[in-house]
């Protein structure tokens, strides 16, 4: 099974005024108040570019891909939704509010 791997490198602070106009890189929805920056190629593998994602989307990526799998997807041009779990997540999250993640934490 995939090892659980916490990589602090992926959780860089983003300055508050650097609000991206782009949609979420993973699910394509508008971004909410909280925006995470995600390295499609992990920094540990030389990746420099970051893309904006929802915190819930980044967690989904973290949970489903190892660093080397991310590199394989990025270099091969394979969308992460090629992964069935991620594809199902993107469909499921499609009509949730942008800040849905905080709602799950408070609502239980």
- Footprint of Zn ion (CB under 5 A): 24, 26-27, 54, 57
Coil, strand or helix: which one is 82? helix
Residue 21 C-beta: closest distance to Zn ion, Å: 15
**Alpha helices of the chain — where are they, by DSSP H?**
55-64, 67-76, 84-93, 100-106
Nearest approach in angstroms of CB 31 to Zn ion is 7
Q: Considering beta carbons, is residue 24 or 80 the nearer one to Zn ion?
A: 24
End-to-end C-alpha distance for the chain, whole angstroms: 28
Q: Nearer Cβ to Zn ion, position 71 or 90?
A: 90
CA–CA distance, 41 with 61 (Å, rounded to integer): 12
Closest residue to Zn ion using C-beta atoms: 24
In angstroms, what is the minimal distance from the CB of 74 to Zn ion? 17
**Under 8 Å between Cβ of 73 and 43:** no
Residue 47 or residue 55: which is nearer to Zn ion going by CB? 55
């Amino acid at each position: 099974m995939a090892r659980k791997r916490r990589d602090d490198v992926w959780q860089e602070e983003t300055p508050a005024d650097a609000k991206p106009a782009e949609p979420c890189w993973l699910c394509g929805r508008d971004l909410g108040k909280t925006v995470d920056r995600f390295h499609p190629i992990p920094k540990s593998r030389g990746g420099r570019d970051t893309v904006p994602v929802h915190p819930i989307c980044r967690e989904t990526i973290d949970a489903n891909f190892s660093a080397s799998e991310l590199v394989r997807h990025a270099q091969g041009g394979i969308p992460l939704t090629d992964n069935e779990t991620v594809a199902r997540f993107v469909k499921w999250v499609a009509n949730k509010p942008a800040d849905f993640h905080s709602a799950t934490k408070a609502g239980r």
